[in-house]
Amino acid sequence: MVLSRLYVRRRGNGYRRAGADAWARGSGGGAKICCAARYLWLWYTTAAREGSFRQDPATKTSPRGGPKAPDGAAPEADGKPSPDKPSPDEPAEAPPLPEKQVSACRLALTEEIAIAPSIPDIRGPGGCGGEDLVRLEAIVLPDKRKVAVKPAAILRCTMASAIADWVRKDMVPLATSLGSTISDLDNFDSFECRGRNRIVGALLSEHGKANALDVRAVKLANGQSIGLTDRTMSRDVRERVLHSVCARFSTVLGPGSDWYHEDHIHLDLAQRRNDYRICQWNVWDPLPQIAPLLPAERPEEAPPREVASKPEAKDGAGDEAAEKSPAPADKPAADKVQPSKPATKKRR
């Protein structure tokens, strides 16, 4: 009676109602236990068939009852971590850094233009340093000769490229007009982590960003040196240098700008609003030529100097001149000094 009623009403929640009816109509403890067991067995098999007891494959139980490792993972032995898994005490390895892309400036600054190997980026205090840095060692001229930069300058690639173009396109024709070619570039200062004009607490200089170069002179192959601030150098030569650097660089500081730049020229590529440029360099007139205080030494190979002799008087001319010369006149009597008498004291 009980079993037939359970199978007939097997839809929806009919199991619960069937079990309740059987429990109510059954008599005796055995019938009640039998109905309860049948009810639990039917509920469990149906729930398992519908997926209510599906387990996550990542947390499968092992035969011992503990969680089972997911597929592909090495099992742990005796509670110890696997060799492939890092221990909590050891720091995890940092992921590899992405490969740095080469800049367009670095690709253009080849060995046919300059000897400028790349160096690592510099990260200093207060924003000091920079990226895409090179060590400018020499500038290669179109005829394959090299202009040494002494000492080598630490610069950004863009600044090094601007210096190379300036030397190749402007300074080489200037040296040719002087009958020679360039051999060295005198580097007074390049990268230096400091404030402007080396003042403590001042704004970071472009030298601190590897974006500036101080130049004192350009040396020629014939031994001549073009001092950019040398007043003994031709004014025309210095003015040609002035016009060339002011057309290429955003900042040019020289004599007349401040007393920090009286003996060299400061060049940089500072970025300003509206492409504002600064060109402060007074080309002073040449110093006047001062006559030497002492005559120059006579060279040993020079012939001996001729000393002019006194003219000799003709015979008898001296006697005739003596006779014609008047005799000295006597002094007047008034000029003669009369002997004075001794003064006598009057008696009273």
Residue 338 confidence (pLDDT): 57
Predicted TM-score (pTM) of the model is 0.57
Q: What's the pLDDT band for 7 if we cut at 50, 70, 90? A: very low
The answer to which of 6-10, 232-236, 300-304 has the lowest mean pLDDT is: 6-10
Q: Mark whether 25 and 147 lie in a shared domain.
A: no
Integer Cα distance of 209 and 123 in angstroms: 10
Please return the burial class of 193, using the count of CB atoms within 10 Å of its CB with bins 0-12, 13-18 and 19+: middle
Query: What number is the average pLDDT over the span 162-186?
Result: 95
Integer Cα distance of 287 and 23 in angstroms: 128
Residue 23 reports pLDDT greater than 50: no
Determine, yes or no, domain membership for 126.
yes
Query: What number is the average pLDDT over the span 52-69?
Result: 52
Q: Mark whether 161 and 12 lie in a shared domain.
A: no
Q: What's the pLDDT band for 92 if we cut at 50, 70, 90? A: low
Residue 5 confidence (pLDDT): 44
Q: What's the pLDDT band for 15 if we cut at 50, 70, 90? A: very low
Print the domain residue range for 10.
2-49
**Residue where one domain finishes, among candidates 252, 280, 308:** 280
Q: What is 233-251 written as a DSSP string?
A: S-HHHHHHHHHHHHHH-SE
Give the residue carrying structure tokens 């394959």. Answer: 144
The answer to which of 268-272, 281-285, 291-295 has the lowest mean pLDDT is: 291-295
Residue 33 confidence (pLDDT): 63
Q: What are phi and psi of 122, to 5 degrees?
A: -115, 130
Residue 303 confidence (pLDDT): 84
Residue 291 confidence (pLDDT): 66
Q: Mark whether 129 and 274 lie in a shared domain.
A: yes
Q: Mark whether 135 and 248 lie in a shared domain.
A: yes
Q: What's the pLDDT band for 187 if we cut at 50, 70, 90? A: very high
Determine, yes or no, domain membership for 333.
no
Q: Mark whether 131 and 26 lie in a shared domain.
A: no
Q: Mark whether 131 and 44 lie in a shared domain.
A: no
Residue 3 confidence (pLDDT): 43
Query: What number is the average pLDDT over the span 174-189?
Result: 94
Above pLDDT 70, what percent of the chain?
Answer: 60
Q: Mark whether 258 and 135 lie in a shared domain.
A: yes
290-324 confidence digits (pLDDT tens): 766 677 787 888 888 777 776 665 555 555 555 66
Residue 340 reports pLDDT greater than 60: no
Residue 181 reports pLDDT greater than 90: yes
Q: Which of 277, 220, 208, 272 is nearest to 245 (CA)?
A: 277
| Tokens encoding 213 | 């170069």
Residue 149 confidence (pLDDT): 97
**Residue where one domain finishes, among candidates 256, 280, 304:** 280
Q: Mark whether 132 and 267 lie in a shared domain.
A: yes
Determine, yes or no, domain membership for 245.
yes
Q: Mark whether 35 and 118 lie in a shared domain.
A: no
Q: How many domains does the chain have?
A: 2
Q: What are phi and psi of 107, to 5 degrees?
A: -70, -35
Determine, yes or no, domain membership for 246.
yes
Q: Mark whether 134 and 233 lie in a shared domain.
A: yes
Residue 10 reports pLDDT greater than 60: no
The answer to which of 39-53, 197-211, 241-255 has the lowest mean pLDDT is: 39-53
**Residue where one domain finishes, among candidates 219, 254, 280:** 280
Determine, yes or no, domain membership for 290.
no
Determine, yes or no, domain membership for 71.
no
| Tokens encoding 46 | 């149906």
Helix runs in 95-222, H state only: 104-108, 157-166, 172-177
Determine, yes or no, domain membership for 247.
yes
Q: What's the pLDDT band for 259 if we cut at 50, 70, 90? A: confident
Determine, yes or no, domain membership for 185.
yes
Query: What number is the average pLDDT over the span 213-229?
Result: 94
Mean pLDDT of the chain: 77
Residue 292 confidence (pLDDT): 64
Residue 341 reports pLDDT greater than 50: yes
Q: Mark whether 39 and 153 lie in a shared domain.
A: no
Q: What is 13-47 written as a DSSP string?
A: THHHHHHHHHHHH--HHHHHHHHHHHHHHHHHHHH
| Tokens encoding 130 | 């920079």
Q: Mark whether 9 and 128 lie in a shared domain.
A: no
Highest mean pLDDT among 142-151, 201-210, 327-336: 142-151
